């Protein structure tokens, strides 16, 4: 039963979680929506395989296919020696298997009973290295043919970090949503942040844009979600920055990621 649970049982549990998240529209909290078809397809296959495994009698996993009626004495002695060698390491094997099984079971059960939740703002701040996220539209920007009206925070971070002619973007209107974090280099600037996902939450990368807002600490809290309406401009050093017309606090969105 333990072997069956660690194989088909855990696969079935995770398949049910995946299908449940897809049915309730919350699978995007864990993977890029563009990958949902693959995850759902694999979950269906895993569930079908788990159900089909019930056709295999318990204990059949241990049958190695030997024809014991035709095993000669030499082969039998060799088999016994292998069994004794395996038995000497059996306590450690059992302990390691039990530990791994408990850990895997805990993850599967937690996925079944705990509500799905997005990554926290604190985690995004901890991951932020100040560099632009990879694969966030930079190629389109460099081609100078992109429609910037569709850009999110991650796309604009790529523009801000790679633009060779910042003045080309001056005056561009933006309406962006993200969470507030402080700018360590300038107290009069807040950072508008977002987590950008390529495939799943494991590769989530933080992205943040500078927004000129002296005294923002009086009205906004770190981690609060806001919508910024403003224009792209340059600061005294010639670097791109957003000059806001309005910064409106909003509830945290159901889907807090960009993809």
The string of pLDDT tens digits covering residues 59-70 is 655 555 555 454
Overall number of domains in the chain: 2
Q: Answer yes or no: do 89 and 213 share one domain.
A: no
Measure the CA–CA gap between 209 and 132, rounded to whole angstroms. Answer: 10
Verdict on whether the full-model pTM lies above 0.85: no
Do the Cβ atoms of 242 and 228 come closer than 8 Å?
A: yes
Provide the Cα torsion 11, 17, 21, 22; round to 10°.
30
The string of pLDDT tens digits covering residues 71-94 is 455 555 555 555 555 555 567 676
pLDDT for residue 5 is more than 70: no
pLDDT for residue 105 is more than 80: no
pLDDT for residue 127 is more than 80: no
Q: Answer yes or no: do 128 and 243 share one domain.
A: yes
pLDDT for residue 198 is more than 50: yes
Q: Answer yes or no: do 139 and 251 share one domain.
A: yes
Domain boundary among 113, 130, 159: 113
**For helices 36-52 and 10-23, angle between their N-to-C axes, nearest 10 degrees:** 140
Q: Which of 145, 141, 147, 148 is nearest to 163 (CA)?
A: 141
The whole-number average pLDDT for the span 96-106 is 71
The whole-number average pLDDT for the span 196-200 is 87
Q: Answer yes or no: do 59 and 130 share one domain.
A: no
pLDDT for residue 237 is more than 90: no
Which residue shows structure tokens 């910024």? Answer: 228
Q: Answer yes or no: do 105 and 144 share one domain.
A: no
Backbone CA torsion sign across 225, 230, 236, 237? positive
pLDDT band at 25 (very low <50, low <70, confident <90, very high): confident
Q: Answer yes or no: do 104 and 152 share one domain.
A: no
Q: Answer yes or no: do 146 and 226 share one domain.
A: yes
The string of pLDDT tens digits covering residues 175-193 is 999 999 999 889 999 999 9
Do the Cβ atoms of 154 and 197 come closer than 8 Å?
A: no
Domain boundary among 83, 113, 143: 113
Which residue shows structure tokens 């079908």? Answer: 48
Q: Answer yes or no: do 126 and 104 share one domain.
A: no
Point out the least confidently predicted range of 1-15, 30-44, 139-153.
139-153
Q: Over the chain, what is the mean pLDDT? A: 78
Q: Answer yes or no: do 100 and 127 share one domain.
A: no
Q: What is the CATH number of the domain that holds 156?
A: 2.40.50.140
pLDDT band at 212 (very low <50, low <70, confident <90, very high): very high
Q: Answer yes or no: do 125 and 250 share one domain.
A: yes
Q: Answer yes or no: do 60 and 126 share one domain.
A: no
Point out the least confidently predicted range of 35-49, 129-143, 151-165, 234-248.
129-143
Position 103 scores a pLDDT of: 74
Position 218 scores a pLDDT of: 94
Point out the least confidently predicted range of 11-15, 145-149, 223-227.
145-149
Q: Answer yes or no: do 19 and 133 share one domain.
A: no
Domain boundary among 57, 80, 113: 113
Domain span at residue 253 reads 121-258
Position 145 scores a pLDDT of: 45
């Amino acid at each position: 039963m333990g072997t069956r649970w660690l194989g088909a049982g855990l696969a079935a549990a995770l398949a049910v979680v995946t299908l449940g998240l897809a049915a309730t529209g919350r699978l995007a909290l864990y993977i890029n929506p563009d990958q949902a078809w693959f995850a759902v397809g694999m979950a269906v296959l895993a569930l079908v395989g788990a159900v089909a495994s019930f056709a295999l009698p318990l204990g059949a996993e241990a049958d190695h296919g030997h024809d014991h009626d035709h095993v000669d004495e030499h082969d039998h002695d060799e088999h016994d020696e292998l069994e004794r060698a395996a038995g000497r390491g059996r306590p450690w094997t059992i302990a390691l298997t039990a530990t791994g099984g408990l850990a895997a079971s805990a993850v599967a059960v937690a996925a079944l009973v705990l509500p799905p939740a997005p990554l926290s703002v604190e985690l995004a701040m901890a991951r932020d290295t100040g560099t632009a996220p990879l694969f966030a539209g930079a190629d389109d920007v460099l081609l100078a043919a992109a429609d910037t009206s569709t850009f999110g925070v991650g796309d604009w971070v790529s523009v801000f970090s790679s633009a060779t002619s910042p003045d080309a973007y001056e005056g561009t209107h933006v309406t962006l949503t993200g969470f507030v974090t402080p700018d360590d280099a300038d107290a009069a600037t807040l950072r508008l942040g977002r987590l950008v996902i390529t495939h799943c939450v494991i590769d989530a990368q933080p992205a943040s844009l500078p927004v000129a807002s002296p005294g923002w600490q009086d009205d906004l809290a770190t981690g609060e979600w806001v919508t910024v309406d403003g224009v792209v401009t340059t600061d005294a050093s010639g670097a791109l920055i957003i000059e806001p017309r309005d910064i409106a606090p909003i509830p945290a969105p159901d889907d807090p990621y960009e993809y």
